[in-house]
């Protein structure tokens, strides 16, 4: 179990990227949703011991992550948002090199580790190809392979499906689901569907703070009877926004469809619709923006 207590981070220019973040994350998939600039990557780097928080405490199964970062690194797998690779180095050789860096010194043990991981992420047939020449989805799967070296008990993936085509996204999410059966996996993303598909628990981060936390099904249930939909002409959107709490707009069949939050029918033309996690997400961000915002960085 991972526990964060009052974790804050203030950069040298005075920007408060994290503001007293407290979370308890059990074994399994945990989704961290938030818009770009919410502080997600700062939080992931802090948990991964790549930066020291200004204040607060992080514990993982009795290990003080902040006070003894070396103790957690051997049990940590991390796929950052921008995963760089060496040009002209094959997937096999690069994974072998990373296994050495993870402390797997024996040649036979490294061979078994590398071959098992390449098969697990479905890259065995292209193991001799340079990772720099991989597609986006293949590179992300390689990133998971390197994160799993040493059988980590805590895995962090930061925006892993951004830019992937639908087929690669599904393949990658299925791989994450398999991993999340036995370890703590934190999925940091701004893509709501990724969390809906995978995570039994989640939190929404905005303005460096935890805005909402819980099980997606329970959070969706809390919106029952409050989500209303109407198709409008685009020119009517300013008037609708002025009169109602519009949480999202989208195009459907060439017309603009709005979702609004209201306890009762907001007016003629609106139809009650089942809420989804996207409605939870947008309504939470709307409420947060109504309060005094604090500038944060990713």
Most distant CA pair in the chain, distance: 72
Strands of the sheet with 245-252, listed across from one edge: 245-252, 255-261, 227-232, 271-272
Residue scoring higher pLDDT (54 or 289): 54
> Which positions ≥6 away from 211 have C-beta within 8 Å?
203, 204, 205, 284, 285, 287, 288
Contact, 65 vs 75, CB < 8 A?
Answer: no
Find tokens 């070296």 and name the residue.
149
Alpha-carbon distance values, 184 to 103, 151, 159, 218 (Å):
22, 12, 17, 21
pLDDT at position 179 is 85
> Which positions ≥6 away from 4 have C-beta within 8 Å?
21, 22, 23, 24, 25, 47, 56, 57, 58
pLDDT at position 88 is 84
Over the chain, what is the mean pLDDT?
90
pLDDT at position 298 is 53
CA quadruple 10, 11, 16, 22: dihedral, nearest 10: -50
pLDDT at position 172 is 82
pLDDT at position 290 is 80
pTM attached to this predicted model: 0.88
Domain boundaries along the sequence of the chain: 2-88+116-122+134-220, 225-273
pLDDT tens readout for residues 179-227: 888 899 999 988 898 898 889 999 999 999 999 999 999 999 999 999 9
- Residue 276 CA to residue 269 CA, distance in Å, equals 21
Confidence of residue 292 (pLDDT cuts 50, 70, 90): low
| pLDDT at residue 294 tops 80 | no
Contact, 281 vs 204, CB < 8 A?
Answer: yes
Find tokens 């089942």 and name the residue.
274
Q: What's the mean pLDDT in 223-241?
A: 92
pLDDT at position 128 is 95
pLDDT tens readout for residues 155-182: 999 888 877 788 888 888 888 888 888 8
Distance of CA 257 to the CA centre of its chain: 27
| pLDDT at residue 18 tops 70 | yes
Q: What's the mean pLDDT in 101-119?
A: 91
Q: Does the domain at residues 2-88+116-122+134-220 carry the CATH identifier 3.40.50.300?
A: yes
Most confident of the ranges 41-55, 82-96, 168-182: 41-55
């Amino acid at each position: 179990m991972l526990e964060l207590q009052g974790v804050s981070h203030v950069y040298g220019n005075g920007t408060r990227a994290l503001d007293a973040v407290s979370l308890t994350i059990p074994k399994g998939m945990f989704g961290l949703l938030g818009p770009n600039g919410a502080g997600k990557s700062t939080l992931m780097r802090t948990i991964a011991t790549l930066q020291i928080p200004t204040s607060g405490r992080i514990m993982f199964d009795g290990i003080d992550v902040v006070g003894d970062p070396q103790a957690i690194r051997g049990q940590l797998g991390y796929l950052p948002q921008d995963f760089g690779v060496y040009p002209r180095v094959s997937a096999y050789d690069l994974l072998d090199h990373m296994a050495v860096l993870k402390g797997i010194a024996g040649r036979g043990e490294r061979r078994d580790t590398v071959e098992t991981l390449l098969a697990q992420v479905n890259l065995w047939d292209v193991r001799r190809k340079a990772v720099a020449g991989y597609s986006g989805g293949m590179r992300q799967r390689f990133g998971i392979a390197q994160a799993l070296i040493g059988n980590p008990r805590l895995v962090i993936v930061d925006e892993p499906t951004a830019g992937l085509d639908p087929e690669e996204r599904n393949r990658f999410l299925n791989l994450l689901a398999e991993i999340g059966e036995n370890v703590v996996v934190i999925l940091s993303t701004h893509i709501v569907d990724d969390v809906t598909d995978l995570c039994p628990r989640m939190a929404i981060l905005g303005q460096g703070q935890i805005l909402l936390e819980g099980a997606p099904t329970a959070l969706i249930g809390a919106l029952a009877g409050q989500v209303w939909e109407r198709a409008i002409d685009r020119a009517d959107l300013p008037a609708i926004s002025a009169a109602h709490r519009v949480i999202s707009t989208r195009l459907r069949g060439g017309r603009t469809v709005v979702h609004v939050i209201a306890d009762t029918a907001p007016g003629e033309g609106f139809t009650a619709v089942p809420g989804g996690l996207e409605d939870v997400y947008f309504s939470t961000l709307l409420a947060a923006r109504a309060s005094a915002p604090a500038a944060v960085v990713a």
